[in-house]
Structure 1
Amino acid sequence: MAAVLDGELRGVYENRRTTVASYLREWLGTRKPHLAPNTYAGYAACVERDLIPAFGRIRLLDLRPKHIDEWVTAQVEAKRGRVTVYRAVSTLRNALNAAVRSWRLRYNPAKHSVPPKPRAEERICWTPEQAATFLRHGAEQYADQLTDLFEVMLGTGMRRGEVLALHWSDVHLMDRKLFVRWTLAAVDNGTLHLGQPKTEASRAWISLSPRVMAALHRQAAIQMAAHPEGRLEGLVFARPGGTPLRPQWVLDQLRKRTTEIGLPRIGLHDLRHTAASIMIAEGVPLAIVSKTLRHATLATTINLYGHLFKDSADQAVRALARALDRAESSRPRVLREGDDGMSVAA
């Protein structure tokens, strides 16, 4: 009764029977409908692998910052990956924020316990020459649908899941554009899940270059010839039965072909970074690069690719210096009378 009355007074309804484990699983259940499958899988892995073994038996009301800080220290000393530790504590903070918002906790004990976010490793990008070598090798040695898939990825900057989920109904060859409306993700034990892109910015159209158009025309011709009625339907890149290509198999093929010609080893997402770096190196305005990559904000593009802007920054300050020099050289010379009565230039 005292606890109930205290809750009425403070507006916080605390249940002393709730453990951290039961609360975290309840929180996961409420979040599942609102998360992409791979995002939910990442949260669930943090909860079951790290958070419940560490804090699950503690009552939710008894969890304190010292419990979390001690766990972080122990994980760092055990040489756990800093990214893994950061994600686990960030997940705990997010879950407890929800408890505070729903008046089940008075404060969030994980609020100040999240370690600094580790600096992301710099992505490996191919040069234009390396990318062209890779595409030429595929065309000469394989000439298969993966050759065209890699052409589309490098020629548009599409994400792996977006290109693997691309439907013919979203490709408009006459208009030289395609629409990104689906994404493919492999979750849990490799189960493939087809869903909508995560953000509104991702659901947009992309212009198609002549090279990408040629790749899509090749795939269209192959699929129309194989279809009994000569129609284009389903996925652009698929297995013979029409089912999606498995992302891991596509990655394995990328690395196999890369090894054959001795190029730097990269992942599928690095093809997107390569496309971005080539656009930036070619002097494409940053706003257009951001639009092509379908980033939510221009700041996202700057944060990801700011290290590639040195040449652009050099050009900017040189342009500024040239403008000042021109203004200085064109400044009108004013004549004034000197002390001896003679006119001098000022």
Structure 2
Amino acid sequence: MGRPKLEIGTYGELTTAELRPGVWEAVARYRDLDGVTRRVKAHGASQAKAKAALRGKLKERKRTNGGGGDLTPDSTVEELAELWLAHVRLEHDQAVERGAKPSKSSDSISQYERCLEKVIVPALRKVTLRELRPQRVDRFLRTLPANGRMAKTVLSQICDLGVRYEALDVNPTLRGYVPPRAQTDRRVLTPEAAVQFRQRVHAWMHQGATHGPKRGYDRLRIVDVLLGTGIRIGEVLALAWADVLDLDSDHPTLYVGWHLDKASKRVEGRKSGGAPYELSLPPLAVEALKEQRDLQLPFDLVFPTRNGTAQSESNVRRHLREARGDDMGWVVPKTMRKTVSTAVYEAKGLEAAQRQLGHATPETTRRHYVKPSEKAPDNREALAEYSTRIRPADPQEREKTG
């Protein structure tokens, strides 16, 4: 009898052989998506390292083939999640290869991975799709924190794939509990508070510095660009001088079309996947950029490290936390984005605030970035006719109307 046929997307026993001193080869049979079984090899300095390299190679092969393997009602949530994530990655890579815009950005995919790793898989790892009934899903959703809405969204998309592959009859999340939205912090910096925050950043930069360059030498200028534009901190740190247009003219502008990925690498496109755009620069941002330019750093980036690479977003955030003080603990880079959007909204309306932040729709700006006014506009003129008819200025007319 011949050896049993492998399931598609699986591999057989790993065998190893020492080719020469210090060089080991690991081999396994892998059945590809087309049904053909092929030998896959990997090498390493030891038997264990060769096996580890081969397992990584087989895992990558499964990923690039769209996950491999057939789903059944007895497949687990973990297996379905792995297949869904493999499909999402593959669709992203194929779109990039075609020069098209991916439906999901690399940053979004990273968020999905963290959600799966931290929330969904630990709770439902070995639950079979047959057991993934609406009642079980509803109980799981009720355990999520207030910011757990993404987990429901991701789980729903995973289950949609299970339905398409006929491993689930229906999507069990459709009528499940909806975790409440996390409360949006609506606080923004007043001009006075912005001055105070800048003073604290300035003091932090000079703290303990008796000679040599100040620590975080550019933190105050980064804050000024944040307060002058409202763009994201990852977009500020990704700025190159080629993005700063007509800085010495009467109408300097900024091209916002790059951001930093999770590895602090400058990548084209905006974090949200929105379209690149240009915005006008106010004096605060202009002066900060001119001061940075005057340093004559030999790099393309506006705010580089001392080696010319992009700065880590987490490092800048940490420095601002150290500088702000406990009483301003609510001030984060996003606070400055909200401050800008609220100022523009109050002066020119919601559409102008939306365009300043580069959002696709005004609803995103209104819901998450604009602080609602605590004072209604002066509407006395609109209500004047009711006042004159009900309580006329003339006492005799007032008597007639009762």
1:111 is displaced (CA, Å) by: 1.3
- Give the gaps of 5 or more residues in structure 2: 1-69, 93-101, 207-213, 391-402
Contact conserved, 2:107 with 2:271, CA < 8 A, in 1?
Answer: no
1:325 and 1:305 mapped to 2: Cα distance?
37
Contact conserved, 2:73 with 2:167, CA < 8 A, in 1?
Answer: no
C-alpha change, 1:201 and 1:317, in structure 2 (3 Å) is farther
C-alpha change, 1:185 and 1:102, in structure 2 (3 Å) is same
Hey, what does 1:169 align to over in structure 2? Answer: 242
Amino acid at match of 1:246: S
1:89 is displaced (CA, Å) by: 2.7
* TM-score for the superposition, normalised by structure 2: 0.65
Hey, what does 1:42 align to over in structure 2? Answer: 111
Secondary structure of residue in 1 paired with 2:176: coil
Secondary structure of residue in 2 paired with 1:318: coil
Are 1:239 and 2:315 matched, yes or no? Answer: no
Trace 1:174-253 onto structure 2 (pairs within 5 A): 174=249, 175-186=251-262, 191-195=263-267, 196-199=269-272, 201-223=274-296, 226-227=297-298, 233-253=299-319
Secondary structure of residue in 2 paired with 1:315: coil
C-alpha change, 1:318 and 1:293, in structure 2 (3 Å) is farther
Greater shift in the superposed pair: 151-160 or 109-118: 109-118
1:245 is displaced (CA, Å) by: 1.4
Trace 1:20-39 onto structure 2 (pairs within 5 A): 20-32=77-89, 33=92, 34=102, 35-39=104-108
Are 1:148 and 2:210 matched, yes or no? Answer: no
1:198 and 1:264 mapped to 2: Cα distance?
25
Amino acid at match of 2:122: P
Are 1:294 and 2:363 matched, yes or no? Answer: no
The higher-RCO structure (CA 8 Å, 6+ apart) is 1
2:122 and 2:171 mapped to 1: Cα distance?
20
Are 1:274 and 2:274 matched, yes or no? Answer: no
Root-mean-square deviation (CA, aligned residues, Å) is 3.0
Hey, what does 2:377 align to over in structure 1? Answer: 315
Are 1:127 and 2:190 matched, yes or no? Answer: yes
Amino acid at match of 1:304: H
C-alpha change, 1:53 and 1:263, in structure 2 (3 Å) is closer
C-alpha change, 1:316 and 1:287, in structure 2 (3 Å) is farther
Contact conserved, 1:235 with 1:244, CA < 8 A, in 2?
Answer: yes
Amino acid at match of 1:236: V
- Give the gaps of 5 or more residues in structure 1: 1-12, 228-232, 329-346
Are 1:115 and 2:178 matched, yes or no? Answer: yes
Hey, what does 2:368 align to over in structure 1? Answer: 304
1:28 is displaced (CA, Å) by: 0.7
C-alpha change, 1:323 and 1:214, in structure 2 (3 Å) is farther
Q: Deviations over 1:207-263 (max 9, x none)?
A: 10122111111111213xx43xxxxx5211111111111122211221232229x64
1:199 and 1:307 mapped to 2: Cα distance?
21
Secondary structure of residue in 1 paired with 2:380: helix
* TM-score for the superposition, normalised by structure 1: 0.75
Are 1:59 and 2:128 matched, yes or no? Answer: yes
Contact conserved, 1:255 with 1:265, CA < 8 A, in 2?
Answer: no
Q: Structure 1 vs Structure 2: percent identity of aligned residues?
A: 25
Greater shift in the superposed pair: 46-55 or 134-143: 134-143
Contact conserved, 1:130 with 1:263, CA < 8 A, in 2?
Answer: no
1:178 is displaced (CA, Å) by: 0.9
Hey, what does 1:90 align to over in structure 2? Answer: 153
Q: Deviations over 1:72-92 (max 9, x none)?
A: 44x3xxxx62323x3323311
Amino acid at match of 2:305: R
Amino acid at match of 1:25: E
Q: How many residues align?
A: 296
Q: Deviations over 1:319-346 (max 9, x none)?
A: 4225877999xxxxxxxxxxxxxxxxxx
